Amino acid sequence: MKSSLLKRCVTAAGMLALAIGNLAAQEAKPEKTKALEEGPMQIGGSSPVGGADMVQTLNPKSPPMTKADFEIGKKIYFERCAGCHGVLRKGATGKPLTTDLTIERGSEYLRTFIFYGSPQGMPNWGSSGTLTEKEVDVMTRYIQHEPPTPPEYGLKEMNATWKLIVPPSQRPKTKMNNLDLANLFSVTLRDAGKIALIDGASKKIVDVLDTGYAVHISRLSKSGRYLYVIGRDAKIVLIDLWMEKPAPVAEIRVGLEARSVETSKFKGYEDRYAIAGTYWPPQYTLMDGDTLKPLKVIGTRGMTSDTNEYHPEPRVAAIVASHYHPEFLVNAKETGMVHLVDYSDLENLRVKMIKTPRFLHDGGFESTGRYFMDAANASDRIAVIDTKEGKLAAVVPVGKTPHPGRGANFVHPKFGPVWATSHLGDETVSLIGTDPVKNGNNAWKVVQTLKSAGGGSLFLKTHPKSKNLWVDAPLNPDPTISQAVAVFDINNLDKGFDLLPIGEWAGVKPGAKRIVQPEYNRAGDEVWFSVWSTGSEESAIVVVDDKTRKLKAVIKDPRLITPTGKFNVYNTQNDVY
């Protein structure tokens, strides 16, 4: 970097850091003067949308940009930024980057912000060496031009990608292998575009299967036979676990970018339907559960829940299946609307809209399976949805940017049943009372706030047979925190946490070693952690004895490339968390 540019950046960075440090908590709908002050935690990851053909729209108020620079900027934006800021830059986990904001800020401000990042989690793309000086300059100009719009994706495009590899009539009638499926783990190998099936008892890899790019989640059918895997490229792979050697039997691509898949669970509809939601286009698709044949596509574009303004990109985040009705609950992130989709009659489909805070992301059921605890992360709220009555039961303020995964359920020694979330934006863990019948005074409020090791948490977990609550923090900037995990004694929460050096226990070569996503085995006596390094570094899975909190096993294999999410078949199938 030239000395003059460095001097300007350092000066501006100091002023920016001071300004950020003095900011109070903000509401989810940002003011124009604050919209860029807080960057996102880097959880969005890269976006496959960048490979689609898009048209450059020139803005005369924006700095000059050639077609070649536009293509560079588009590639970088969809690889680095779109997951948090949105395809159309309307914001969600990350703040909006629309041109009314970016042009007003100007190139010098934006260049500094991109180069140095922010204490709230905006990555320091320039000073870290991730982006070159030229690339920082390209991005400074790129986000001052109108965002290009990717193409739509309907049934015609989906059917062109649909592959029925093994028809249902040719599949086994009974389980044909000796695997203990209830204790099998589906492990995401993120950068490899694969999953590993690992036996929970032997800790051996059963097989590694090709899937979509950057697998986000694995979900099980109600019967436990079928494993659904969805990548960020919106490719779904259906794996039959009953086959002599579990293998894909169908696949489809339902859009250009996605995060969520789920299957029907209500009695009489087990395994009948699957549903997947996409980030782009903003929609969800209903499919046959055993073939992935697409049946119906429903768009999410519409009005926001707070100001009733039209939003062109309500991305579909979490989807859960009701246990009380033949319904799916679908999160439309940017509008704050939960779509309650009745799948009992697809020809005359009924969708009920439940109004909640905006920027819905992830969440899970409380212990009875009746109430969906739904994280509106950029609003710092948890929406409680009664799936039996089909309505919003409560809205609970929590910490900064909740990111619970599916959350954690346990019985608090003082307040009764609670559901817990950790946070991306601060070090706290919020415990919410979930028993309106026997503990009505504690229901739908934060009954206790724990202080964990630090912000940057993505997941926390416990188990009905455990007395431990595990909290990760893989996005914390301090390696002593990101390479460890905090564990609380549920019966003595006031004593604080112990910090276990999981990364050190892994015994892998030097690398990022971010510890992510605690997951229990079927019996609830082991906790598995991903030791997540980059694709060129060594990763591993560490297994800890839940009772003693001691190291039990380390799973190493050259095929374990960037392991992240782990999904135990029984626990995922039965919503145990």
List, by residue number, the catalytic residues.
Answer: 81, 84-85, 122, 361, 403
Hey, which residues does 340 pair with through a beta bridge?
Answer: 329, 352
Task: Report DSSP letters for 81-135, one per residue.
Answer: THHHH-TTS--SSSPP--HHHHHHH-HHHHHHHHHH--TTS---TTTTTSS-HHH
Integer angstrom CA distances of residue 74 from 48, 67, 332: 11, 10, 25
Q: What is the DSSP letter of 50?
A: G
Name the residue among 73, 75, 193, 82 with its Cα closest to residue 142.
73
Neighbours of 346 (CB within 10 A): 12
Both tokens of 569, joined, read: 């078949």
* Contact call for residues 504 and 526 (beta carbons, < 8 A): no
Both tokens of 534, joined, read: 């980059």
Quote the CA–CA distance of 401 and 422 in Å, as a whole number: 9
- Please state the φ and ψ torsions of residue 203, each to the nearest 5 degrees: 65, 20
- Please state the φ and ψ torsions of residue 492, each to the nearest 5 degrees: -150, 60
Task: Report DSSP letters for 276-314, one per residue.
Answer: EEEEETTEEEEEETTT--EEEEEE--EE-TTT--EES--
Residue recorded with tokens 């001071």:
18
Quote the CA–CA distance of 185 and 179 in Å, as a whole number: 11
Name the residue among 250, 277, 281 with its Cα closest to residue 157.
281
Name the residue among 186, 276, 185 with its Cα closest to residue 233.
276
**Widest pairwise Cα distance in the chain:** 72
Both tokens of 362, joined, read: 């992830």
Q: Which one-letter amino acid corresponds to residue 499?
A: L
* Contact call for residues 201 and 180 (beta carbons, < 8 A): yes
Both tokens of 274, joined, read: 């699957």
Q: What is the DSSP letter of 182?
A: G
Neighbours of 6 (CB within 10 A): 12
Order across the sheet with 468-471: list the strands.
Answer: 460-461, 468-471, 485-489, 497-500
Residue recorded with tokens 């990760």:
472
- Please state the φ and ψ torsions of residue 562, each to the nearest 5 degrees: 45, 60
Neighbours of 114 (CB within 10 A): 27
Name the residue among 49, 247, 249, 226 with its Cα closest to residue 149.
49
Residue recorded with tokens 């997947």:
276
| Entry field: residues in the chain | 577
Question: Is residue 170 classed as helix, strand or coil in its secondary structure?
Answer: helix
Quote the CA–CA distance of 529 and 486 in Å, as a whole number: 12
